[in-house]
Amino acid sequence: EVQLVESGGGLVQPGGSLRLSCAASGFTFSSYSMNWVRQAPGKGLEWVSDIRISSTTTYYADSVKGRFTISRDNAKNSLYLQMNSLRAEDTAVYYCARNPIGGAGYFDLWGRGTLVTVSS
């Protein structure tokens, strides 16, 4: 089955760190660009970051630049998001999302998400 499964969410204090993971299965992970998209409770969708096939090309939303780092391990079919200096406004469900073959920036496959809560 083609799927993405996120993990690593939880409760963290402001200023803390968390590492999210996304396990891909059912498709050739190394052939796809990947993304993180988040959704604050009761709010809309916000694109966070993307990483291209090569892993050397990454992009970030201004709201997380310098604090979050996206990475991938094609041998493990996994995507990661290292989140440092977390703030209350980072509280959200974080979705792993795939771009289609060819790299266009829409998202054709989504995981179910993992909840990150930043609170003291």
Q: Which residues bind other proteins (CB under 8 A)?
A: 35, 44-47, 50, 59-62, 95, 100, 104-108, 110-113
Shortest distance (Å) from residue 97 CB to other proteins: 8
Residue with smaller CB distance to other proteins, 56 or 120: 56
Supply the minimum distance, in Å, between the C-beta of residue 20 and other proteins: 15
Of 14 and 105, CB closest to other proteins: 105
Pick 80 or 107: Cβ nearer other proteins: 107
DSSP state of 54: T
Tokens linked to 100: 């289609």
Cα(105)–Cα(110) distance, integer angstroms: 13
Which parts of the chain are beta strand (E)? 3-7, 10-12, 18-25, 34-39, 45-51, 58-60, 68-73, 78-83, 92-98, 109-110, 114-118
Shortest distance, position 99 Cβ to other proteins, whole Å: 8
